[in-house]
Structure 1
Amino acid sequence: MKFIHLSDLHIGKRVNEFSMLEDQKYILAQILELVERERADGVILAGDLYDKPVPPAEAVRVLDVFLTRLAEMGVPVFAVSGNHDSAERVAFGAQLFSSRGVYLSPVYDGKVESISLTDCFGEVRVYLLPFVKPAAVRHVFESEEIDSYEDAVRTAVEHMEIDPSVRNVLAAHQFVTGAARCESEEILVGGLDNVDAAVFDGFDYVALGHLHSPQHVGRETVRYCGTPLKYSFSEAEQEKSVTVAELKKKGDVEIRRIPLKPLRDMRRIRGTYMEVTDRAFYQDTNTEDYVQITLTDEEDVPDGLQKLRVIYPNLMRLEYDNRRTRESGNVSGACEVEQKSELELFGEFYELQNNQAMSEKQEAFVRELIRKVQERG
C-alpha cells in the first residue's frame, strides 16, 4: 500500500506580502504528475491545507482543483485540518466527498473512525485526527484529566479502536517532542504543544503535519514530510520533497523522499551593492527567484530596494551587515526575536521594566496565563 504523504500546503499564503498562489498551483500540478507516476494507492494531507481559517476564494479554488483531479484519477485522499485551518470548513461536505474517495476529518467529537483499504498483504486502516487542543478533548471526556496537548492527543488515541493485527496509519497535525522547527511555524510558549512520539506507538506509520522541515521523530515511521514550498528564509537551504510511505507486510514500511522543483526558488544573496549588481554575479542564476539580499556596504544605498528589484524583481527582504548594524545588533536581533517564545519575550520586557527577573511564582503565573490564551485562540 503506497501513500504519498503531504502536509502544510498553506494555500493562499503570503510571504513578505508576496502571494504564493501561482507557486502553489505549479507545485500541486507537479505533485499530481508524481502521484500518477508512482501509481499511489492514497494521498495523505496532514493538515494546514489553507493558510488562514477563512481562506480567500482563489485559495479554495486551488484546493478544489487539486482534490477534484485526485478524485478523477481514482486516488483516495485522506485529509485532516491543521491549526491554520477551520475544522468546520474543512469538514464541510465530508460525507458527500467520501463517496468520491476524498475523506476529510470531521470536527473532533471524541470519535476517530478509520477508513479501510485492502492490498495483497491484507487490511490497512487509516485514521484521521484533526489538530486538537486540550480544551476540545476535555470537553468530550470531562471525567479524564487533560491538562496538556500530550494528554489531549493520548486520550484521543486511547479512545480509537485500533486492531494491532492489521496495519494502522494515522494522519495528525501536532508538534512531536524533539522535532526541529523553522521560522515560518507558530511556536507555543514553553513547548506547551509538545507531544511525545510514544503516544503513537500503536500505528505502523504516522503521517504528521505542522512542521515545515522533512524529518522523523523517535522512529523512522513517525514522520513530518515538510512543506512542498519554502515559506521562510530559514528554509532556504532545504530541498523540498514529498514523502512516499509504502506499507508492505505488517512491520515492514519503506520510506523515501522525492524532490520537488519549485517555479521560483527562495535564496539568500550576500555581497556589496556593486557585487550583487554585476552581471557576472547573477547571469547564471534565476533572477526571478524569491531572494533576501544582505548588503555589506558600510553606507546604505539610496533607494536600494527599488534599484535591486530592477534585477531581482522578487526581492523580498533587504538587510545590511556592516559595522553599524553589528554594533546595534539589528541584523541578528530580528531573527532572535522571531525564534523566542512568548514567555521569553515577556520575561525580557519585565526585566527591562523592573530591573530584575521574574520570580518562579511570577513565571509560573505568566506561563499558565499564556497557555489559557493559546487554548482559547
Structure 2
Amino acid sequence: MRFLHLSDLHLGKRVCEFSMLDDQRYILEQILSLLDTHPVDAVLLAGDLYDKPVPPAEAVRLLDWFLTALAERKLPVFAISGNHDSADRIAFGSHLLAESRVYMSPVFTGAPEPIPLADEYGPVDIYLLPFLKPATVRHVWPEEPAESTQSYSDALGCVLRRCKRDPAHRSLLVAHQFVAGAAVCESEEPSVGGLDSVDVSLFEGFDYVALGHLHSPQNVGRDTVRYCGTPLKYSFSEAGQQKSVTFVELGPKGSVSITTEPLTPLHDLRELRGSYMELTDRRAYEGTATDDYLHITLTDEQDLPDALARLRVLYPNLMRLDYDNRRTREQQTVEGPARAEQQTPLEHFAAFYQLQNNQPLSEEQAAFCQQLIESIWKGEDDA
C-alpha cells in the first residue's frame, strides 16, 4: 500500500508580509500532478494545514479546493490538526467528509481509534493523533496521576498506551509533535529547553509514523519515523533546503520503503550578498530568477539612501535587507548587549518592526505604540 506524506502546508501564511497563497496553490497543483504520475492509495496530511487558528477565507477556499481534487481522484485522505490549527475548525464536518473518505481528526477526547484499509497483504490500521498538550490529556483523563501527564512525552505515552493495536496488522500513525533529537529551523522552533519534546521510543510498534511540525525533511531515531517537511520554504533558514514530498510504501508486515520527489516552487527563496554596485551590475542578475523571494545583505560600508526601494526595481520580491559592514559588526560584538539594555520599549518594538517589514514605523504608528505602552504601564501601576 502506497501513501503520500504531506505536512505543514501553512495555508494563508505571510513571510515578511508577502502573501504565500499564489505560491501555495502552485505547489499544490504540482503535488496533484505528481499524484497523477506517481499513483498512491491514500494521502496523509500531518497537521498545520493552516498558518493560523482563524485562517483567512482565501486559505479556507484553497484547502477546500485541494481536498476536493484529492477526493475526485478517489483517494482517501487522513488529516490531523497541528499546533497552528484550530482543532475544532479542522474537525468541523468530519462525519460528512468521512463519507467521501476524507478523514479529519476529531477534537481530542481519548485514544484514537484505527481507520482500516486493506490490500493484498492484509489490513493497515491508520491512527490520527492531533497535536496534543499535557493539559489536553489531563482534561480527558483527570483520574491519571499528575506525574503521568506532566510532560509532553508523558502525555503522549499515556495516549499511545491506550491505543488498541493488533500486532498482526500493519499500523500507521499520523502525529504532529516535536520528537527529541530532530533538527529545527527558525521558522518552527520548539519551546525553550525542549519542554515540548517527546521520546521517539513512544512510537515503537508502528510500522510508519508520519510526522508534522518541523519544516526540514528528516528521519528521527529510525527511517520509519519521519518528518516530510514543508512543501515550500517559509524562512531564510531553509534557503539551502530542497523541498520534496515523501512517498511511503508498506509491503508485508515489517517491509517499508520510503522515497522522495523534489518540488519546484513558483518563486524560490534565496539569499544574496554583495555591494550595491555588484548586485545591480547587469552581469550579476541577467539570466537569473530576479523575481525570487530574496534576503539581500549589502556589504557597503555606508548605508545607501532608499536602498530597499532601489533594489526592488531589479528584485521586486526582495523581502529582507541587511548590512554587513564595520558598523553592524561593532554593534553586534560591542554595542549590542549594552545598547539593548538602554533601549526603551518603543525602540525595541521599532527595531522588531523594521526587521519584519523592512521599513520603519511611521510617526503615527510610533505615537500609537507609545500611547499603548504608557496605558499598559499605567494599568500595572494602578493594580
Give TM-score scaled by structure 1 length.
0.87
The alpha-carbon deviation at position 330 of structure 1 amounts to 8.1
1:161 to 2:164 alignment: yes
SS of alignment partner, residue 188 of structure 2: coil
SS of alignment partner, residue 184 of structure 1: helix
1: distance between equivalents of 2:104 and 2:216? Answer: 24
- Residue 147 of structure 1 corresponds to 150
Give TM-score scaled by structure 2 length.
0.86
State the AA in 2 paired with 1:164.
Answer: P
Contact 2:71 2:102 in 1 (8 A): yes
- Residue 250 of structure 1 corresponds to 253
| Deviation sequence 1:73-101 (CA, Å, 0-9, x none) | 00110000000000000000001000001
Residues 289-328 of structure 1: pairs in structure 2 closer than 5 A: 289-328=292-331
- Residue 360 of structure 2 corresponds to none
- Residue 115 of structure 1 corresponds to 115
| Deviation sequence 1:288-328 (CA, Å, 0-9, x none) | 10000000000011100000000000000000000110111
1:196 to 2:194 alignment: no
Structure 1 runs (4+) greater than 4 angstroms displaced: none
- Residue 277 of structure 1 corresponds to 280
State the AA in 1 paired with 2:208.
Answer: Y
2: distance between equivalents of 1:286 and 1:209? Answer: 30
The alpha-carbon deviation at position 208 of structure 1 amounts to 0.1
2: distance between equivalents of 1:330 and 1:121? Answer: 62
- Residue 179 of structure 2 corresponds to 176
State the AA in 2 paired with 1:95.
Answer: H
- Residue 329 of structure 1 corresponds to 332
2: distance between equivalents of 1:103 and 1:232? Answer: 30
- Residue 136 of structure 2 corresponds to 136
SS of alignment partner, residue 187 of structure 2: coil
State the AA in 1 paired with 2:76.
Answer: P
1: distance between equivalents of 2:161 and 2:37? Answer: 37
What is the identity percentage for the equivalent residue pairs of Structure 1 and Structure 2? 65
The alpha-carbon deviation at position 284 of structure 1 amounts to 2.0
Residues 173-252 of structure 1: pairs in structure 2 closer than 5 A: 173-252=176-255
State the AA in 2 paired with 1:172.
Answer: A
| Deviation sequence 1:198-244 (CA, Å, 0-9, x none) | 00002000000000000000000000000000000000000000011
Q: How many residue pairs end up in the alignment?
A: 334
Structure 1 gap ranges (5+)? 338-377
The alpha-carbon deviation at position 187 of structure 1 amounts to 2.6
2: distance between equivalents of 1:95 and 1:198? Answer: 33
State the AA in 1 paired with 2:230.
Answer: T
| Deviation sequence 1:252-293 (CA, Å, 0-9, x none) | 100011000000000000000000011110112101100000
| Deviation sequence 1:101-143 (CA, Å, 0-9, x none) | 1000000001301111111111111100000000000111222
- Residue 373 of structure 2 corresponds to none
1:93 to 2:126 alignment: no
- Residue 344 of structure 2 corresponds to none
1:124 to 2:127 alignment: no
- Residue 267 of structure 1 corresponds to 270
1: distance between equivalents of 2:87 and 2:35? Answer: 26
- Residue 68 of structure 1 corresponds to 68
- Residue 352 of structure 1 corresponds to none
State the AA in 1 paired with 2:34.
Answer: L
- Residue 24 of structure 1 corresponds to 24
1: distance between equivalents of 2:187 and 2:333? Answer: 20
Over the residues paired in the alignment, what is the CA RMSD in angstroms? 1.4
Contact 2:111 2:160 in 1 (8 A): no
2: distance between equivalents of 1:209 and 1:80? Answer: 9
Structure 2 gap ranges (5+)? 341-383
| Deviation sequence 1:313-360 (CA, Å, 0-9, x none) | 0000000000110111189x79xx9xxxxxxxxxxxxxxxxxxxxxxx
1: distance between equivalents of 2:333 and 2:27? Answer: 35
The 1:80–1:330 alpha-carbon spacing in structure 2 relative to 1, beyond 3 Å, is: farther
SS of alignment partner, residue 25 of structure 2: helix
2: distance between equivalents of 1:221 and 1:111? Answer: 22
